[in-house]
C-alpha cells in the first residue's frame, strides 16, 4: 500500500491519494530513496496533490537520502506555483543537502529567474556556501539572477571575486557582467 500511495502522488491520481489518506496512511511516507509523497507530487508538478498532502500534515522540510527537500526539487524544475505553496507551508529555503546546496543554488543553476526572486523574497540566505565554497552566484548564467543576488546579498563584492565567479560560469558574458557591476557599484556609493 505504501508504494501505491507514493506512485499515486507521482501520477497525479487525486482520488486515490484522498482515499488512502482517509484510511490513515502517513502523508510523510518515504520510498526507498527517501523521497516523500510530497517530493514525488511536486517533482511531477501535481500542485493539487501537494496541497492535499500539506493539509494532511505532510512536512515540507523532510529530506531524502541525498538531503534534498521538496523545495529543492520544485526549484530545480522551475515549478513556480509549487514553490509558492511550499513557502506558504513554511518550507525552509535555507536547508542544505548532503553537498550543502540549497534551493536557491538549484534555481540559479537552472537560471529560473522567478524562482530565485521568490526564494530571495522569502528570506533565503544568498551567501550560503556549499562544500565547494560556492554560493548561488557561482551557478548562474542569468544577468537577472546575478542582479538579484547582488541586491539581496547586501555585501559589496570585490572586482576580483566577481571576476572569478564570471570566469567560472560564462567567459563570453564577462563584459556585460562587468558593466552591471560597475553600474551597481556607482549607484550604491
State the chain's mean pLDDT as an integer: 87
**Is the pLDDT reported for residue 156 higher than 80?**
no
Instruction: Categorize the per-residue pLDDT at 176 as very low, low, confident or very high, splitting at 50, 70 and 90.
Output: low
pTM for the full predicted model: 0.81
Is the pLDDT assigned to residue 37 strictly greater than 70? yes
Conformation bin of residue 163: beta by default, left when phi > 0, alpha when psi is -120 to 50: alpha
Contact (CB, 8 A) for 104 and 119? yes
Query: Which one, of 175, 149, 178, 144, lies nearest residue 162 by Cα?
Result: 178
In this predicted structure, what is the pLDDT of residue 76?
Answer: 97
Please report the sign of the dihedral spanned by the C-alpha atoms of residue 101, residue 103, residue 106, residue 108: negative
C-beta atoms surrounding 113 within 10 Å: 18
Please list, in sequence order, all residues whose beta carbon lies within 8 angstroms of the beta carbon of residue 39, skipping any fewer than 6 positions away.
62, 64, 68, 69, 70, 73
Q: Are 134 and 164 in contact (CB under 8 A)?
A: no
| DSSP-derived 3-state class of residue 184 | helix
Q: Is 81 helix (H, G, I), strand (E, B) or coil?
A: helix
- Tens digit of pLDDT for each residue in 117-151? 999 999 999 999 999 999 999 999 899 998 899 88
Question: Angle between the 143-153 and 174-187 helix axes, to the nearest 10 degrees?
Answer: 30
C-alpha cell belonging to residue 146: 546575478
pLDDT the model gives residue 124: 93
Asked if residue 13 has pLDDT above 90, the reply is yes
Please tell me the predicted confidence (pLDDT) of residue 48.
97
Contacts of 145 (CB under 8 A, 6+ apart): 107, 108, 111, 113, 116, 136
Amino acid at each position: 500500500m505504501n508504494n501505491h500511495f507514493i506512485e499515486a502522488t507521482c501520477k497525479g491520481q487525486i482520488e486515490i491519494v484522498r482515499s488512502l489518506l482517509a484510511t490513515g496512511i502517513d502523508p510523510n511516507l518515504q520510498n526507498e530513496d527517501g523521497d516523500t509523497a510530497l517530493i514525488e507530487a511536486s517533482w511531477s508538478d501535481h500542485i493539487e496533490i501537494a496541497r492535499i498532502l500539506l493539509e494532511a500534515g505532510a512536512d515540507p522540510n523532510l529530506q531524502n537520502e541525498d538531503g534534498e527537500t521538496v523545495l529543492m526539487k520544485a526549484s530545480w524544475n522551475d515549478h513556480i506555483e509549487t514553490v509558492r505553496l511550499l513557502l506558504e507551508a513554511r518550507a525552509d529555503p535555507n536547508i542544505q543537502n548532503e553537498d550543502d546546496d540549497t534551493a536557491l543554488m538549484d534555481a540559479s543553476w537552472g537560471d529560473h529567474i522567478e524562482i530565485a526572486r521568490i526564494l530571495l523574497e522569502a528570506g533565503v540566505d544568498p551567501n550560503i556556501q556549499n562544500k565547494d565554497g560556492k554560493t548561488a552566484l557561482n551557478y548562474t548564467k542569468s544577468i537577472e539572477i546575478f542582479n538579484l543576488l547582488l541586491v539581496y546579498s547586501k555585501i559589496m563584492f570585490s572586482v576580483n571575486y566577481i571576476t572569478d565567479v564570471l570566469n567560472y560560469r560564462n567567459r563570453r558574458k564577462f563584459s556585460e557582467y562587468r558593466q552591471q557591476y560597475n553600474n551597481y557599484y556607482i549607484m550604491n556609493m
